[in-house]
Structure 1
Amino acid sequence: MQLQLLIDRMIDQAIELDPSGSYSILIGNAPATETDWATGKKVYRWCPVVQTRLVPNYSVVLAPSPDNLRTSNLIEYHGRILNGDVTRYTIRQSTFSSDDDAPKP
Structure 2
Amino acid sequence: MNLTTVIDRMIDQAQQSDPLDTYSILLGTAPATATEWVKGKKVYRWFPVAQSRLIPNYLVVLAPSPDNYRTGDLLEFHGRIDNGQITTFSVRRNTLTIPTVTAMPGPRRTEAVL
TM-score by shorter chain over 0.5: yes
Match status 1:19 vs 2:19: yes
Q: CA deviation at 1:12?
A: 0.2
**Could you say which residue in structure 2 is the equivalent of 1:4?**
4
Aligned equivalents of 2:31, 2:44: Cα separation in 1: 16
**Could you say which residue in structure 1 is the equivalent of 2:31?**
31
Q: CA deviation at 1:66?
A: 1.4
Question: With structure 1 as the length reference, what TM-score do the two structures score?
Answer: 0.90
Equivalent pair of 1:28/1:56 in contact (CA under 8 Å): yes
What is the aligned length? 97
- Root-mean-square deviation (Å): 0.8
Instruction: Tell me which amino acid in the other structure corresponds to 1:38.
Output: V
Q: Please give the per-residue CA displacement for 1:23-69, whole angstroms capped at 9, x wherever unaligned.
A: 00000000001111111111000000001101000000000011111
**Could you say which residue in structure 1 is the equivalent of 2:78?**
78
Segments of 5+ residues of structure 2 without an aligned counterpart are 98-114
Runs (4+) of structure 1 exceeding 3 A deviation are none
Q: CA deviation at 1:96?
A: 2.8
Segments of 5+ residues of structure 1 without an aligned counterpart are 98-105
Aligned equivalents of 1:64, 1:25: Cα separation in 2: 9
- Identity %, equivalent residues: 62
Question: With structure 2 as the length reference, what TM-score do the two structures score?
Answer: 0.83
